Amino acid sequence: MPSGSSMLLPEGMDLLHAAYPDVAVQLANRYNPDCLLIDADTGPPGGVVVEELLNNPARPDLPIALLTSDDAIYDRYRLYAASRIRKNFRKSSLLSGIYAAISRPESDLHPLGRAVLCVDDDPEVLEFMRRCLEEEGFSVKLCSDGDQALACAATQEYGVVLLDIAMPGLDGIEVCRRIKANPDLKGVKVFFVTAVDLDSFSREYQSSGADGILQKPFAANELLHLVSTNLAAGTDV
């Protein structure tokens, strides 16, 4: 997908591009990619690629990230797509969709808690997240530092952790690493909520095991969309 190549290459990703469905299937079979990013808004070819891969017994478990803003197309293939990325995406949304697709098989092995853990040393950010989420019926816990966040996460009550990076004491990167290294917390989705430029901590982000990023400043609907789709079946970013 040429429009996203400039965003993905600096992240150290190896990319293969196919303009036609049969070529996409051939490349997938030959190179065994970690994820297949399909532009399903290009008309029939997008659907053909999905269906060809689903009918291919050699590649039944290939994670598919579906790039589409068309709800009808997504509904048609949502059972087979590990994640969805809407058009006019930001870099953070593209990366989140890809990492969600790659990590989904492991995270689906374990049930998730139904509450949301919000971690930030800025009380105004915490209050904004709490108000937005509780108004939509989510159970929310607020934490202001990394040690408290780890203690809360250990209760296994939280399916989604929204985690600031720059905090006193344990920073968000280390908190995320510890959550992801804890076998009792497999299935917990961790998203960095940060104003940090992606390019400035790309290596740390990839090594942390995080499931995605929500960049500050963010609107209420972005927050709700992220949480609601990650506490339900499938992942839509």
**171 compared with 74, residue with greater pLDDT:** 171
Higher pLDDT, 221 or 129: 129
Axis-axis angle for helices 44-54, 21-31 (nearest 10): 40
Q: Which region, left, alpha or beta, applies to residue 207 given φ > 0 means left and ψ of -120 to 50 means alpha? A: alpha
Question: Which pLDDT value is given to residue 7?
Answer: 82
Cα dihedral across residues 201, 203, 204, 209: positive or negative: positive
Straight-line distance from the first to the last Cα atom of the chain, in angstroms, rounded to the nearest whole number: 17
pLDDT above 90: residue 83: no
pTM score of the predicted model? 0.57
Question: CA-CA distance, 86 to 69, in Å (whole number)?
Answer: 5
pLDDT score, position 130: 95
Q: What is the pLDDT of residues 198-216, one digit of tens each?
A: 666 677 777 888 888 888 9
Give me the sheet containing 83-85, strands edge to edge.
Answer: 36-39, 64-67, 83-85
CATH topology of domain 115-230: Rossmann fold (3.40.50)
Average pLDDT for 34-52? 73
Domain locations along the chain: 2-81, 115-230
